[in-house]
Chain A
């Protein structure tokens, strides 16, 4: 009996690892590009987690530090098989990108100096800037919507641009300011909206934020 449950557990770990391992390599465009594939593997194909749970999980995984794909993997792995399950799932989703990133780096080093490759990379450089800008724009739509959020954005931009300060300090300070302002607002009886509109996390089509990272 004991032996059989051990077998079942390690089989589950291997299954977790394999399911997330297959998702990793196909996710150009970062975290949120992984989500539809994770949903397919974990919700429709394997029934590891329920659809409604998945929606809330995405909201939380997107807000916690770290990549949303890795966070979702850790959560599902943990729910299914504890800490070992979380490790298996995260290892599965990270290992392929780890290897592929190194392979990209090696091939770049190999071709370094080739005029055509250098030119192509300059183009790709522009594309990566565009991806970053689009991610910023998408987040801005849901993040900056009232006076307080505008003020926080402008102040943190000024601090970052003028002082050579660790961004981590800006993040920590700004979060406290946001918390305090909501406290003060509710104390004063002012409207304490914390989202741009009510659409976010509500409708079927906005199950996860539109921005991807």
Chain B
């Protein structure tokens, strides 16, 4: 499988320059995902806007490639945050990129959890912990809805898309209804929507 390089062009040069570039790329990926991971409160979906911001500002990949990565991350089992780190890292710098990005994503919370584990009995139930969450949770909520909106907009451009938009809205509506009302398992919702997609599009 070839690694696609979306926005960066590797100029032909000496081996050293190429290696240096790859090193920088891995470093850049690692730092970017450490930053994202440090503020990845709320886990998966709330992280999407942060990843998108980093991806845009560093010119990692096109919007449609980004949308595809998020889509596959949501489909695959496991947290969408680490999945998207894996896939974006892979597309930018191959398997090493995938590893570096995933570790970068996990590392901040990993360190924090170990610190929490050390002071577990001291901090539980403290007012400042609750007060922090009090301000944090509304923002996480907004970020999640923001991510949903961006996912909806992604990959919908040009004309004659009324059908696509309408059908997407119908599936979204039905899926939300099934998830909330009948507490359907996400796996069935994904499978059902895939089938609906084959029929509708």
Contacts and interface: CB of A to CB of B under 8 A. Distances in A.
Contacts, number: 354
Contacts of B81: 66-67
Interface residues of B, number: 101
Instruction: Decide if the interface of chain B is mainly helix, strand, loop or mixed.
Output: helix
Contacts of B152: 129
B131 A130 contact: no
Contacts of B78: 24-25, 27, 30, 69, 94, 96-97, 100-101
A68 B39 CA distance: 14
B93 to A, nearest CB: 14
Contacts of B79: 30-31, 67, 69-70, 97, 213
B175 to A, nearest CB: 3
A127 interface: yes
Contacts of A97: 76-79, 82-83, 86
Contact of A130 (B105, B123, B179): B179
Contact of B77 (A26, A62, A129, A170): A26
A125 interface: yes
A168 B35 contact: yes
Contact of B138 (A62, A75, A83, A143): A143
Contact of B75 (A128, A129, A175): A128
A134 B66 CA distance: 22
B44 A67 contact: yes
Interface stretch (A7-15, A39-47, A114-122): A114-122
29 contacts: A28-B77, A62-B43, A63-B41, A65-B109, A66-B112, A67-B81, A74-B109, A94-B106, A97-B83, A98-B86, A118-B201, A119-B200, A121-B71, A121-B194, A126-B193, A127-B171, A127-B172, A130-B172, A130-B176, A131-B179, A131-B186, A152-B135, A153-B139, A168-B36, A171-B139, A174-B138, A177-B135, A178-B131, A179-B135
